[in-house]
Amino acid sequence: MKTRITELFGIKYPIILSGMSWISMPELVAAVSNAGGLGILATGVMTAEETLEAIRKTRTLTKKPFGANVTLYFPGAERNAEVIIKEKVPVVNYALGKGDWICKAVHEYGGKVIATVTTLKHALAAQRDGADAIIVTGHEAAGHGGAVTSLVLIPSIADELKIPIIAAGGFADGRGLASALILGADGIAMGTRFMNSVESPVHESQKAKANETDVYSTLYTDKVDGLMARVMKTEGAIRLTKKWLNPFSALIRSKKIAQMLGFPWLKLAIAILFMGYKRSMQMARMAIGFDAFYAGTMEGDNKKGVLPIGQVAGIMHETLTVKQIIDRTVKEAKQAYEKLGTKLK
C-alpha cells in the first residue's frame, strides 16, 4: 500500500498511532512501527527527563521510523520539544500552538513534522509554518476532536491543502481507511483502536469495557480538562461535568501541574494571574483532567477518573495485538475497494 504518507515517512502502511498521554508509550509506539505503521510517542505529561528516557527506550525496541509529539498548550512543552529535536526523532508531531520554530529545527536535521489541527484555518497556518503533513481530527475522535465530523472535515481541508492529510476520528478498521483515502486523506491515525490492543498499557478493565460499549456511550465536554474533549460516559465523567470551580482553584491546582511537568510553579502561578478568568479556569480544569485521565486510563477507575475514547469504540468488539489490528485493517481496506469497484460498474 503506497500513499504520500508512506513515502514521506518511509513506512509500509499509511496507519499512524495517535499520541495519547500515558498510552502511547515506548512499547506501543514500537509495536505500531514494527508492524508497518508509524508510532507516535506522547510526551505531553512527561518532564524533559522522562521524554529523553522514553525516546531512548523506543529506539531499543524498534529500528523503524517513529515520532514523538509535543502539546504546546501545556506548561514546559518547549523543553520537551527541545529534547525531541536534540535527539533527532525522525517525525515530530505538534498540537495546540504555533510550530514554525519546530518545523525549522526539525528540517535542519532532515526530520519531518506533522501538525495536529481541527480546522481549515489552523491547517493552512501549519502548511505556511512548514509542516510536512497534518493530522485532521474530526468530532468523533477521543480526546480533543473538533466540531465538524471527519466525513465533512477531511474533504473540506483536502480541497485547500497541498501537503498530505492524515485523518483522525472515527477510524478503527479497513472500511475507515478506505473511506479516508476516498475522502482525500493520505492515511489514518487511530487512537481508540490502538488503545484497545494487547500492547496498550491501558487498564485491562477499560479494554473490556470498550469492547462492550456502543457508539452512543461518550460525552463531549470542556469540563474535564478545560478543552472540548470526548470521553467515555461514566460516573466519573458525569460528575466532572457538574463540578464547579472558583478562580483561586487554578492557582492551587497549578502546583500539581508544575510538579508533574517539572515546570517552576512560581513562574506558572504568576502566568495564571495574568491569564484572565477564562484561561485561569482552563488551567484549573487541566489539573483536574490530568488526575482524571490518569485514574481512568491507568487505574481503571470510572468513579473518579475518565477514559478518553472515540465513538468508534462502538464498532470494536475485541482486544487484538497491534500487528493483528494493522494486518486486518489493510486487508479490509483492499476488500472494501474491490467491493466498491463491483458496485460502481
Q: What's the full length of the chain, in residues? A: 345
Write out 31-45 in H/E/C secondary structure.
HHHHCCCEEEEECCC
Task: Place 281 in a pLDDT band, splitting at 50, 70 and 90.
Answer: low
Q: Are residues 222 and 198 in the same domain?
A: no
Eight-state DSSP code of residue 143: B
Query: Is 233 in the same domain as 115?
Result: no
Do both 67 and 173 map to the same domain?
yes
- Tell whether 83 and 187 lie within a shared domain: yes
Contacts by 125-131, CB closer than 8 A, 24 or more apart: 125/98, 126/99, 127/161, 127/162, 127/163, 129/98, 129/99, 129/100, 129/103, 130/100, 130/103, 130/104, 131/99, 131/103, 131/163
pLDDT surpasses 70 at 322? yes
- Do 116 and 181 fall into the same domain? yes
Domain match, 197 and 260 both: no
307 assigned to some structural domain: no
Number of domains, the chain: 2
Using the structure block, give the residue that is written with the C-alpha cell 484549573.
Answer: 284
Residues 173 and 231 in one domain: no
The DSSP call for residue 3 is -
Residue 260 and residue 131 share a domain? no
Q: Is residue 228 part of a domain?
A: yes
220-267 pLDDT, tens digit each: 988 887 788 899 999 988 888 876 665 555 555 556 665 665 656 555
Identify whether 305 is part of a domain: no
- Total-model pTM: 0.89
**Would you say residue 312 lies in a domain?**
no
Under DSSP, the state recorded for 137 is: E
The reply to whether 306 falls in a domain is no
Backbone angles phi, psi at 10, to 5 degrees: 70, 40
Domain carrying residue 218: 214-298
Is a pLDDT exceeding 90 seen at residue 282? Answer: no
Residue 29 has pLDDT above 60, yes or no: yes
